[in-house]
Amino acid sequence: MRRVLAAGAAALTLLAAVPATAAGTGGVEVSPPGEGATSFRIDVPSRGGIDVPFALRNVGGDGLPRSARVYVAAVTRSGDGFVLGDPGSSPWVEMSDQHVTLNPAERREESFRVTGGELPDGEVLAAVVVEVTEGAVVQRASTLVYLSSGRQIPLPVLLLSIATALVVLAGAGVVVAGRRRRA
Amino acid sequence: MIRRTLVLATATCLAAASLGPALADPFPVTVTTTEGIRQFAVQNLDGSPLTAFAFGAGGQQPFKTVVTDTDRSLSSPGYQVDATMSNLYLVGADSALDYATTIPSGAVRLGYGVTPLVADALSLPVASLLDIDGTLGNCTSSAVRNLLGIDLGALLSLTQLLLPIADQIALLTGPLGSVCQALAGVTAPVDTTVDRLTTTVSSLQLPLGDLPFALTGAQERGAFTRPSFATGTAGAGDTAGKAAAAAASQTPTSKRIMAGTPGVTPGLLSAVTSALTPVVGTLPLVSQDGTGALLSLDDLLAGLSGDGLATLVSALGGLGATQQLALLNQLVGTVLPFDVSALSTVSGRYTAFPILEVAPSTAVPGTYSGTLTVDFFQP
């Protein structure tokens, strides 16, 4: 299991190194991992959980620090639109509700955790939210998280199955070759 | 045969088993590409952050929502911007909200100005093919000699200057001699295509439907019939209202303010072509680093090398940049027709101009406080 998580971490490390396409508000942006990615598309493992990295950036470009509240929340569809739930409302996605301040041009690596398990039927959505409150106005930029059922077979089991199949194949070859020689 | 089969099977199994550790080792990857930005803001009409609503006697508060794209991939998804509203609560003497005395959110309506949607500051880099035509001439021409700074009188002896001009040119040595020999070998007019032209067109004026992220769909108007009690809003502390809404499975009324839909229309391509033509027509073909010209010297030379002009390009390398530019700017570049593949990113600003209106109320006189929540969603 540790190897599965390590492999997952390696893959996500690789993805995080590739710039994405960010969105945000108040000069604070969320960049999902993956080249050109504008949202998170996560295969939810059947057990355990995975940490999903993303970057927070100050893109204000005016040499000033930028502050925002950052959290994750459930999202549902309503018609052709989306409805954002309260902070922490997603049972699948966890991250501490935090208030961040980024120095000019600062880029900070963050992550949220996706809990493994059986997803319900239908679309499961969440969002990483950047929220800025200015008096009577709350502006929120939600980068969507699309959750789908992941690979059901852990990697070690998969590799062991392949190795076993190859040994069986080799054994069959030995038997066939032996019969041919006897014939 | 059996032994070979066993060895092969064992090796295969070992290779399969070794995949695990290999996958577990992280390795650094460095890729440099442009990272597109999309920022969303709610502002007063003068561009300052909107922080309060002063409805005044007219009961209206205009504002704007702005989505600003910087180097945004044209193939990336669009966006949507929606608004919800809390009830307005009477502000007590101690600045605490009186949740029992409200102006319901249903008394607040969303409307729009005469021009509800605008896009400006649009610019797109266009990576198009450039057709390069023209004649370079050769050193028997005084015009070419002038361009290259060849002074035969200074380079040849008096006796040599009595020879026919072609023979004089043949006597030239060094870099100029090499260039003149190479030019003599260019027997046909230059006619080649280079793919290194990237020109940015800006200040495009486009119908809303032809924008790189088209502003489509009607702006939703009307009252916020069902209030928001979301965390962080004035309604969050209205426990009775929140409980009643939850019991009725009531979601707040959401109004779509704007939505951007990606897609390159024929109208956009036509507008980019029209904007590109005058830009290209006014620029010289080449400059040292490409500034103020269609191509940099390196890019043009690289383009010409592949078209049977390798000997000339090599010989030009021995000359100074001024001489090279003078000679090569005799050629003319024409942008060839392009398609959507020439477009990759866009920068621009998309703005909606909503108006928040509050209906005349019989509520207890006083100051009321509520929260407008504007949600931007990035799929």
DSSP string, B288-315: SSSTTSSEEHHHHHHHHHTTT-HHHHHH
Phi-psi region of B55 (alpha: psi -120 to 50; beta: other; left: phi over 0): alpha
- Which three-class secondary structure state does DSSP give residue A8? helix
**Facing residue for A140 by CB, picked from B31, B80, B376:** B376
Summarize the confidence of residues A60-83 as an average pLDDT: 93
Side chain identity at B372, as an amino acid letter? L
Torsion of CA B191, B197, B202, B208, to 10 degrees: 90
Q: Do B72 and A127 touch (CB under 8 A)?
A: no
| Residue pairs between chains A and B whose CB atoms are closer than 8 Å | 186
- Residue of chain A minimizing CA distance to B14: A163
- Residue of chain B minimizing CA distance to A179: B2
The candidate with the shortest Cα–Cα distance to A159, out of B7, B3, B22, is B22
Kindly give the pairing relationship between strand B345-358 and strand B79-85. Answer: unpaired
End-to-end, the C-alpha distance of chain B in Å comes to: 58
CA distance A99 to B14: 50
Q: Are A94 and A105 in contact (CB under 8 A)?
A: no
Greater confidence (A180 vs B285) lies with B285
CA distance A15 to A110: 14
The pLDDT-based confidence of B3 (bands split at 50, 70, 90) is low
Check pLDDT > 90 for residue B128: no
* Cα angle, residue B216 at apex, residues B213 and B219 outer, rounded to 5°: 130
Indicate the average pLDDT of chain A.
Answer: 84
Phi/psi at A179 (5° precision): -65, -40
Summarize the confidence of residues B251-259 as an average pLDDT: 94
CA distance A50 to A7: 11
pTM comes to 0.77
pLDDT of res. A15: 38
For B147, the token pair is: 């361009």
pLDDT of res. B218: 74
Q: Are B226 and B249 in contact (CB under 8 A)?
A: no
Phi-psi region of B152 (alpha: psi -120 to 50; beta: other; left: phi over 0): alpha
The pLDDT-based confidence of A154 (bands split at 50, 70, 90) is low
pLDDT of res. B25: 36
Summarize the confidence of residues B212-224 as an average pLDDT: 90
pLDDT of res. B32: 38
Residue B267's CB is within 10 A of a number of other CB atoms, namely 14
Would you call A165 an interface residue with chain B, using a CB distance cutoff of 8 Å?
no
Q: Do B374 and A84 touch (CB under 8 A)?
A: no
Distance from CA of A68 to the nearest CA of B (A): 13
Query: Is the ipTM here above 0.95?
Result: no
Q: Are B363 and B105 in contact (CB under 8 A)?
A: no
Check pLDDT > 50 for residue B70: yes
For B350, the token pair is: 């998309």
